[in-house]
Amino acid sequence: MGRCRTVKGWPGIALLLVSLFAAPACIAEDPEHPFKLSVGAYSFSDQAPAEDVNLRYTSSAGGHFWLGDFRQPVQGIQQWRSGWDQSFGDQIRISPSLQFAQGGFVGGSLNLETGPDWFVGAGLGRTNLQPYYNLNFDPNDSYTLSAGWRRPSGAQTALQWIQDNRLNPDQRHLHAVHQQDLRAGQRFTTDILYKQGRVNGEMIHRLGATLTYEWPRYFLRLAFDPKTNFTPADALRLSVGVRL
């Protein structure tokens, strides 16, 4: 899915990190359970809580389609959203995505990756700059560079650099992600975030983290994003999901 940008007046909200590098913690594809339902609860340091519901469908013909709803009831904020993403190729993997949201938002991204074990990748994201309560804490109009190593055991370690390339080029994220397969189809993923950029004219440097534990059909995720989307608010997110 697309990377998130700063939304003036409110921080964008994340439920799932669904791109390969930003969140390899997504539950593995299961043809017997093509739907994935996720629910998120959000706490902010300077405003009322929010909630998010997302339903994702994996087509047998390939591709993923999703529909989501974000609500911040105290402020009277609500936005429906939808999207599509897919990967093509073997030696060179091409991953496009499209997003649409209530209020006229349109966005998309294109990522390229190569390498079977040691791999590198690059990507570009673009939006029409309309307000979007979206699916990632990272800048949405951005360049992305990725590199990592997949081991035969199923473990994966990756670094990803994301830099705003449009309105706020000083906003940058560095992710260090490690994914470890465990027994009985379980998996644990850590995503450590270093971010820098200006918040109300002041340059900030902060650390955040996302921890995800998965079972074959369920997952539990806890994320902390300081100065979320480069606003004064710190965000804490708890998400749970199930395959249907």
Token reading at 146: 């990725």
Instruction: Kindly state whether residue 212 falls inside one of the protein's structural domains.
Output: yes
Altogether, the residues listed in the chain come to a count of 244
Instruction: Kindly state whether residue 29 falls inside one of the protein's structural domains.
Output: no
Element of type H or E holding 126: strand 118-127
C-alpha–C-alpha distance, residues 102 and 71, integer Å: 12
Instruction: Kindly state whether residue 27 falls inside one of the protein's structural domains.
Output: no
CATH number, residue 146: 2.40.160.40
Amino acid at 61: A
- Mean residue pLDDT across the chain: 88
**Residue 93 Cα distances to 96, 120, 193, 202, angstroms:** 10, 11, 25, 39
Instruction: Provide the Cα torsion 67, 72, 78, 80; round to 10°.
Output: -10
Q: Which pLDDT belongs to residue 32? A: 85
C-alpha–C-alpha distance, residues 147 and 157, integer Å: 9
Q: Which pLDDT belongs to residue 19? A: 32
Whether residue 3 is predicted with pLDDT greater than 90 in this model: the reply is: no
Q: Which of 8-22, 190-204, 218-232 has the weakest average pLDDT?
A: 8-22
Q: What is the mean pLDDT of residues 121-148?
A: 91
Q: How confident is the model at residue 94 (pLDDT cuts 50, 70, 90)?
A: very high
C-alpha–C-alpha distance, residues 4 and 81, integer Å: 13
Q: How confident is the model at residue 215 (pLDDT cuts 50, 70, 90)?
A: very high
* Closest to 70 measured CA to CA, from 57, 48, 54: 54
Element of type H or E holding 124: strand 118-127
Question: What's the predicted TM-score (pTM) here?
Answer: 0.87
Maximal C-alpha separation, the chain: 50
Instruction: Kindly state whether residue 12 falls inside one of the protein's structural domains.
Output: no
Instruction: Kindly state whether residue 8 falls inside one of the protein's structural domains.
Output: no
Number of domains forming the structure of the chain: 1
Q: What is the mean pLDDT of residues 90-98?
A: 95
Query: Domain range for residue 120?
Result: 35-243
C-alpha–C-alpha distance, residues 206 and 134, integer Å: 21
Instruction: Kindly state whether residue 85 falls inside one of the protein's structural domains.
Output: yes
* Cβ(209)–Cβ(223) below 8 Å: yes
DSSP secondary structure string, 35-81? EEEEEEEEEESSS--EEEEEEEEE-TTS-EEEEEEEEEGGGTEEEEE
> At CB < 8 A and 24+ separation, what contacts does 86-91 make?
86/62, 87/20
Q: Which pLDDT belongs to residue 159? A: 98
Instruction: Kindly state whether residue 162 falls inside one of the protein's structural domains.
Output: yes
Q: How confident is the model at residue 98 (pLDDT cuts 50, 70, 90)?
A: very high
Chain segment 26-85, per-residue pLDDT in tens: 345 677 899 999 999 999 999 899 999 999 999 987 799 999 999 999 989 999 999 999
**Percent of the chain at pLDDT above 70?**
87
Q: How confident is the model at residue 238 (pLDDT cuts 50, 70, 90)?
A: very high
Partnered with residue 206 across adjacent β-strands are 195
Q: Which pLDDT belongs to residue 135? A: 57
Partnered with residue 77 across adjacent β-strands are 72
Instruction: Kindly state whether residue 1 falls inside one of the protein's structural domains.
Output: no
Chain segment 160-183, per-residue pLDDT in tens: 999 999 999 999 999 999 999 999
Q: Which of 10-24, 80-94, 122-136, 173-187 has the weakest average pLDDT?
A: 10-24
